[in-house]
Amino acid sequence: MGKNDKSAGVKNQKADQFQALVAEHLDALYGFALSLTRNKAKAEDLVQESVLKAFRFFHQFERGTHIKAWLFKILKNTFLTDWRRDKRHPESLSMDDEESNFSFYVEAFRQSKASPQDYLPPESLHEQDMEQFFGDEIMKAMESLPMEFREVIFMCDVQGFAYADIAKILNIPIGTVRSRLARGRGMLQKHLWQYAQDRGILKRSA
């Protein structure tokens, strides 16, 4: 076997190993990219660019470590590079404590106590009912959040990353992860509460 054949064999082996490790995470990567870009075409481009970059630096990946977190970090860094290059940053962190500390269930409890004849008590709201009530509205609410909140909620509540992994991916302290999660979740709940109010979802039928 010639030198060129050996080199080709090594490259093919590397490509097979990479594909085997990465394939199962492509959907998660696309979901993360979509949560960042809020645009399907841009999300697809971001995933493609990130996967190519990951393959290029695959020799730096430590076998046995969390490849999903490694891929997410590459995608986030790739996104930030493009984002900074664009020089348009329309989003900024919201520091509205009233909004970020909002709780759907606390408000439902407060309203049901204030007007028991009008509002359903919070204990009557089951998880399956919530999903039926809101459906795609949850995704719309997610898309309305600033990027810093969308990304931590997606990684924690959708993908199940631990706080420590999220902190490493985003290069922020764990305390900041917790703070952004709390604020983001509060903003989501307030959005859904307003939606429920507008649609009369929580009110008793006459």
pTM, entire model: 0.68
Show which of 41, 57, 86 is a domain's final residue. Answer: 86
pLDDT of 10 above 60: no
Whether residues 111 and 63 share a domain: the answer is: no
| Token pair recorded at residue 96 | 């509205």
Instruction: Report the b/e string of 55-71 with b at 16+ CB within 10 A.
Output: eeebeebeeeeebbbbb
pLDDT at 122 over 70: no
Q: Read off the pLDDT band of 75 (50, 70, 90).
A: very high
pLDDT of residue 192: 72
For residue 187, the enclosing domain spans 97-199
> Are the CB atoms for 82 and 50 separated by under 8 Å?
no
CATH code of residue 37 = 1.10.1740.10
CATH number at residue 162: 1.10.10.10
Is 193 among the domain residues? yes
Domain contains 92: no
Our count of domains for the chain comes to 2
Does residue 56 sit in the same domain as residue 81? Answer: yes
Write out pLDDT tens, residues 37-61. 888 999 999 999 999 999 998 988 8
Comparing 196 with 203, the larger pLDDT belongs to 196
